[in-house]
Structure 1
């Protein structure tokens, strides 16, 4: 029996509004591992579910995939220099071969994506050929999304605790505070106080209802080295928590590289709880001060004019110019208070009504202090021994 082969090639029709393309109204089929090469728009208005064969996108002109039905392809490939624009989802059961050009999706519509079904995979992804917009995966627990922007491939690997029915992902080389391609914005200044800086260079959107870890990477274009005091050890994954409308720490389980290039794996979280994720840093000045100064200790003050311990010096206070210092006597009465302290205390009270002849100086004894470092969000307490 003769092999039945249906091939459509360079088949184009016109409609009143000037749209050209290959229309499927129910009669289009690809049989017995045949190849269908599309050099024009594909308008799919009927069921199109291929279980064999390849439907590829080729040529130098932009191609749009649209219609009232989402096509299901077995294999597909792209060699289209002007890209392929998806106006509705395209489902792939087997292989996507990236050669040249990008699959583009509307980034303001997360329901349109190139969808890798349960056994779908891909090959050949590169800076020149990838998904610019949303990619999706069905019924998988581990998957690396071949997403990026027009210039670079910026993949995200999802490692779910169990099979996720649907996960979607996209990458944006844009400032989260003011992205140009989506309607939402994620102000990098709206963050919990345990975050130092949120990257203003790039972000990912990853959505899945199953707890998972993600792995993302940075490169010279990420410019993490321009963040003040940033080191590779200070980099963390942060996410815009939908319920709080602010950036919070997702956390890290592994990282490798240097400040110029590397990768990081998050702690387990539920991706759909977050509208976006990117890189942040822990506030190093605060952490460094806290580590180096678990307490400020106790102090000895002898303001007798001999040049030794004449006034109270708190080492490292320059790291928090916004601060406050309070001193109390053994009865709990506040005898000294100073905002933005710069070593002014010389044993003389500046507040309180229970201290007679304040200009003569406080009596000898033990005093209790509270030091609040507003810039570092730290508070210390201890004792000060006054000897006249």
Structure 2
């Protein structure tokens, strides 16, 4: 169809609202034909049929745009170049190719049915920390797929294997404490975990949904604070919240790559629908011997990790703890730490006034370094992280 006729048909069938120039509203049966190209600079409302497209659709604006309506539009090729982000109030499908050029795609995290849907293994390009799906994305297909999801200007993909999305799989990333999720009816208690686990991340989690067996690969960056869980990546595990047992379950470590600042880890074969949330855990002791160390400190009075705790330390009464900030300034020191770690004298993110750190002041959020001296043994050392 010649391009001029295409646009004439488009406006007649769509019922385009031209007086206020606020949105493009489809009431009828609309199609972008092969080699057709349409650029949307206004909000799109789809209350008709708009899912048989075989051309190109681009979304462009220096501000924000919204796609809404009663029916899901499905585009063949789709470009997103919306500086202040594209907001979905209805699911949107892509069945050939999608490119992130500028801006994120927001979906409502409390409405899992609203997602950016990749159909028939449709690929995408251009994702980074400024361009991703902030909310839920789905995939229907037969190939390996990495969900381009993130949160808080952090692209944090999660990957599933081939055949895992034959019945459609979905995923979203949440940069928030699993103990206090914002979009779930129940919390995921990081102090409740099964055998062979010693700690659970309090910084982030993913929701991955699918009814086919697959291995799941999680990714981390510096904000994941993996050193608060392990010193050795061999001890890192994928863990999942089992809603029936109401605890975190060890889902294994079949492959891990990277370092403590950036990397990825792959679980054993699991059915994602069996777990409400996935994150990182540790199955190894942080220190040698009988000591277990909880290196995430969140002194906010919520009862979770308010102080720095080393379980088993009572067996070694001749001990002394030192905590340093990232510049090597001593911020806490206590002999016989086992006697105070359950009291107000335990390390709870308050400076003891060493060097330039004023006594009694809250220490900033971040990574710190501890040294535990036990008489007659080699010093034990590692990282701990303060969050509030």
Residues 3 and 79 of structure 1, relative CA distance in 2, 3 Å threshold: closer
Pair 1:44 & 2:46 matched: yes
User: How many angstroms apart in 2 are the aligned matches of 1:13 and 1:223?
Assistant: 50
How far is 1:53 from its partner? 1.2
- 1:311 match: none
- 2:36 match: 34
- 2:59 match: 57
Residues 161 and 123 of structure 1, relative CA distance in 2, 3 Å threshold: closer
Alignment of 1:241-320 (within 5 A): 241-284=242-285, 288-289=288-289, 319=312
Pair 1:123 & 2:125 matched: yes
- 1:304 match: none
User: How many angstroms apart in 1 are the aligned matches of 2:18 and 2:239?
Assistant: 49
Residues 19 and 319 of structure 1, relative CA distance in 2, 3 Å threshold: farther
Say which SS state the counterpart of residue 227 (structure 2) adopts. helix
- 2:17 match: 13
How far is 1:19 from its partner? 10
TM-score (norm 1): 0.69
Alignment of 1:1-388 (within 5 A): 2=2, 5-7=5-7, 13=17, 20-160=22-162, 164-227=166-229, 230-284=231-285, 288-289=288-289, 319=312, 321=314
User: How many angstroms apart in 2 are the aligned matches of 1:205 and 1:5?
Assistant: 45
How far is 1:285 from its partner? 5.5
What number of residue pairs does the alignment pair up?
Answer: 293
TM-score (norm 2): 0.69
User: How many angstroms apart in 2 are the aligned matches of 1:211 and 1:93?
Assistant: 24
Q: Is the 8 A contact 1:243 1:273 kept in 2?
A: no
User: How many angstroms apart in 1 are the aligned matches of 2:26 and 2:189?
Assistant: 45
Residues 51 and 119 of structure 1, relative CA distance in 2, 3 Å threshold: farther
User: How many angstroms apart in 2 are the aligned matches of 1:132 and 1:22?
Assistant: 24
Q: Is the 8 A contact 2:213 2:272 kept in 1?
A: yes
Q: Is the 8 A contact 1:102 1:128 kept in 2?
A: yes
User: How many angstroms apart in 1 are the aligned matches of 2:27 and 2:65?
Assistant: 19
Q: Is the 8 A contact 1:147 1:156 kept in 2?
A: yes
Structure 2 unmatched runs, 5+: 291-310, 317-388
Residues 50 and 5 of structure 1, relative CA distance in 2, 3 Å threshold: farther
Structure 1 unmatched runs, 5+: 291-317, 324-388
User: How many angstroms apart in 2 are the aligned matches of 1:163 and 1:204?
Assistant: 17
Say which SS state the counterpart of residue 117 (structure 2) adopts. strand
Q: Is the 8 A contact 1:238 1:249 kept in 2?
A: yes
User: How many angstroms apart in 2 are the aligned matches of 1:117 and 1:207?
Assistant: 16
Residues 100 and 2 of structure 1, relative CA distance in 2, 3 Å threshold: closer
How far is 1:78 from its partner? 0.6
Q: Is the 8 A contact 2:39 2:58 kept in 1?
A: yes
Q: List 4+ stretches of structure 1 deviating above 6 A.
A: none
User: How many angstroms apart in 2 are the aligned matches of 1:85 and 1:60?
Assistant: 14
Residues 322 and 243 of structure 1, relative CA distance in 2, 3 Å threshold: farther
How far is 1:250 from its partner? 0.6
Q: Is the 8 A contact 1:285 1:319 kept in 2?
A: no
What's the RMSD between the two structures over aligned residues?
2.8
| 1:300-327 Cα shifts (integer Å, max 9, x gaps) | xxxxxxxxxxxxxxxxxx946489xxxx
Residues 211 and 129 of structure 1, relative CA distance in 2, 3 Å threshold: same
Say which SS state the counterpart of residue 275 (structure 1) adopts. coil
User: How many angstroms apart in 2 are the aligned matches of 1:49 and 1:122?
Assistant: 19
Shifted more, 26-35 versus 61-70: the winner is 26-35
How far is 1:192 from its partner? 1.6
User: How many angstroms apart in 1 are the aligned matches of 2:315 and 2:195?
Assistant: 16
Residues 63 and 2 of structure 1, relative CA distance in 2, 3 Å threshold: closer
How far is 1:188 from its partner? 1.1
How far is 1:36 from its partner? 1.4
How far is 1:181 from its partner? 4.5
